[in-house]
Amino acid sequence: MNIEKLKERVLSLVPDAQFEENKQFPVFIIPAAKLHELAKKLKTDEDTEFDFLFCLSGVDMVKYLMVVYHLNSIRLGHSLVLKVKTEDRENPSVDTVSDLWKTAEFHEREVFDLFGIRFNNHPNMKRIFLDDDWKGYPLRKDYIDEVNIIER
Using CB under 8 A, list all residues that contact other proteins. Answer: 22-25, 27, 51-55, 57, 59-60, 68, 70, 74, 77, 101-103, 105-107, 110, 114, 127-131, 138-139, 149, 152
Beta bridge mates, 67 = 58, 84
Give the shortest CB-60-to-other proteins separation in angstroms: 7
Give the shortest CB-57-to-other proteins separation in angstroms: 4
Cβ-based nearer residue to other proteins, 3 or 68? 68
Write the CB contacts of 123 (distance below 8 Å, at least 6 apart in sequence).
98, 105
Cβ-based nearer residue to other proteins, 33 or 149? 149
First to last CA, the chain: 46
Give the shortest CB-129-to-other proteins separation in angstroms: 4
Amino acid (1-letter code) at residue 72? N
Q: Strand ranges (DSSP E) for 4-144?
A: 18-20, 27-30, 52-60, 65-72, 79-86, 93-95, 118-120
Give the shortest CB-59-to-other proteins separation in angstroms: 5
Which H/E stretch holds residue 106? helix 104-115
Angle at 69 between CA 67 and CA 73, to 5 degrees: 175
Cβ-based nearer residue to other proteins, 33 or 130? 130
Cβ-based nearer residue to other proteins, 95 or 98? 98
Phi first, then psi: give them for residue 64, nearest 5 degrees: -150, 165
Give the shortest CB-131-to-other proteins separation in angstroms: 8
Cβ-based nearer residue to other proteins, 22 or 120? 22
